Structure 1
Amino acid sequence: MRMSTDGRASLQRCEKLMMRFYDDGGRPGVGNCSFGFGTKVHQGPCTPEELKTEVTTDMVKASFESRLLEAERAVERNIKVRLSQQQFDALVSLTYNAGAYGTRDVYKLINAGKMKQAADLISSMVYSTQKKRGRRALVLMSGLVARRQQESAPFGDASANESRSAAK
């Protein structure tokens, strides 16, 4: 299965194209060095040299396609039940953002048929661990709230989930 055209467009809107290197924590010096559609360069903030690095359209396209394929493969490898296109798109988006390891508990719930619990877990995945005053702290990433609502929606609709289960 591949992510739909609508799913790709939604993912790109969520990730917001950045044609430069930036720190993904919402302000300079916080988070991880990233570029393009949320491609992490490395753990931790960008160096002053990286912030001056030119980002080309080809770099962005290549990294997006590579990461998207990686997320699609992770969903296919980890999910053992039939998904609708909307559910697949939502899981690929979540996996693209949180990684396969960060999404593993969602995969387990979906494979167990616990769609409502999976939706609730997806909706709760809005925090990031950041260093504050030398200590790690959970910080609400307000930009993730609407995204997680969108990603959880295909799993939270009980009538749609029941009809899919009945169709198997």
Structure 2
Amino acid sequence: MPDDALTDTKTDKSKLKMSSAAKARMRQHEDPKYYYYDDGGKPGRGNCTWGIGTLAHKGPCTADELKTKVGPAEVEAAFASRITLAEGIVRRNVSHQALNQAQFDALVSFVYNAGGKGAENVLSLVDDGDFKGAASAISRTIYMTVRTKKGSKKVIAHGLVGRRAEESAPFRLPSK
């Protein structure tokens, strides 16, 4: 994360948009895929996903979905739309605390990945001013549920560990 993003001053959230640098970092975590795939790594595990981490539905893709191709324009449109949605969720749910650009970017990235429902606790902690608690909660959100022969289980999604460290960092630093 660039140093200037960590030291910028608090800003009115209504004027904040996710920075282009943060979008570029998200692309490092959310590699575009122009087809449907199961995000658990193997077919039959995880959730059916496409594009830049766009959830098609919970649970594995069907055989027909796994054959479905998606065009670059559709992937980019979904990415932009989901970022706008995540920005709105952050603005609506963090109404009592001013955020700097790095904090806003981190929350938008987290909401993009965890979903509005999955981010509720973190957003509530930030809104209450408990930045340390929010950083800890973000860092713990590294699990995914996968199907097994006996049902399902939670496993560490190793790809989320570094991402969560990045997203929690702006809430671990002294704020300006």
The answer to whether the superposition gives a TM-score over 0.5 is yes
Of 81-90 and 109-118, the range deviating more from structure 2: 109-118
Q: Match for residue 45 of structure 2?
A: 30
Q: Match for residue 51 of structure 1?
A: 66
Q: Give the RMSD, CA atoms, in angstroms.
A: 1.1
Q: Match for residue 110 of structure 2?
A: 94
3-state SS of the aligned residue for 1:128?
A: strand
1:134 equivalenced with 2:153 (yes/no): no
Q: Match for residue 60 of structure 1?
A: 75
Q: Match for residue 21 of structure 1?
A: 36
| Identity in percent | 45
1:83 equivalenced with 2:104 (yes/no): no
Q: Match for residue 148 of structure 1?
A: 164
Q: Going by fraction, where is helix more abundant, 1 or 2?
A: 1
Distance 1:73 1:20, change over 3 A: same
Q: Match for residue 17 of structure 2?
A: 2
Higher RCO by CA contacts (8 Å cutoff, separation 6 or greater):
2
Q: Which amino acid aligns with 2:125?
A: L
Q: Match for residue 126 of structure 2?
A: 110
Unaligned runs of 5+ in 1: none
1:87 is displaced (CA, Å) by: 0.4
Unaligned runs of 5+ in 2: 1-15
Question: Residues 6-56 of structure 1, C-alpha deviation per residue, up to 9 Å, x if partnerless?
Answer: 011111111111111111112111111111101111121111211221210
Counterpart-to-counterpart distance in 2, 1:51 and 1:136: 21
Distance 1:52 1:133, change over 3 A: closer
